Amino acid sequence: MDDHSTDQGGSHNRHVYHCPLRWGDMDALGHVNNGRYVDYLQDARVDFLFRTAKELGADDLETGLLVARHEVQYRAPLVFRPEPVRIELWISEIKAASFVVDYEILDDAPRRTYVEARTRLVPFDFAANRLRRITPIERDALSKLVGS
């Protein structure tokens, strides 16, 4: 089974990442520790950007980004199990010098959402050590990934 895909049918442009749970991610109560969810989101986002940005010709999005903000809404506890958890992510907003990735960490059947989250990313020119604007090529690539 492929661990990653992008559903571009209809109004959904969601990238799907299947994230394995690690025993060390659990807290004393046997739930995934709240701080580990940010790691899961990063794993999914990196997979999304490295695969999709490259496919769409926006290679600078792979490495030239900084996280400006995370918002995480915890919906239900996630306990350890051998099966990976599904993370769906998509672009929800594109501005001149930032964009937002939205996420859901969930199971399909029965549908259960563990976390809803959002990350604002800003393009960064590491050689010049400064923020930069989104290029037209990047805007075009990101626009293809706007979902709901």
pLDDT in tens, 81-97: 999 999 999 999 999 99
Q: What is the mean pLDDT of residues 18-39?
A: 93
Is pTM beyond 0.85 here? Answer: yes
Question: How many residues make up the chain in this entry?
Answer: 148
Q: What is the mean pLDDT of residues 101-118?
A: 95
| Among the listed residues 98, 99, 101, the one whose alpha carbon sits nearest the alpha carbon of residue 117 | 101
| Segment 46-71, tens digit of pLDDT | 998 888 777 887 877 777 899 999 99
Which one is predicted more confidently, 56 or 116? 116
Cβ proximity of 19 and 85 under 8 Å: yes
- Long-range residue pairs from 53-57, CB within 8 A, at least 24 positions apart, any chain: 53/138, 53/141, 56/140, 56/141, 56/144, 56/145, 57/137, 57/141
Average pLDDT of the chain?
A: 88
Model confidence at 40: pLDDT above 90: yes
Model confidence at 3: pLDDT above 70: no
Greatest mean pLDDT among 17-21, 27-31, 106-110 lies in: 17-21
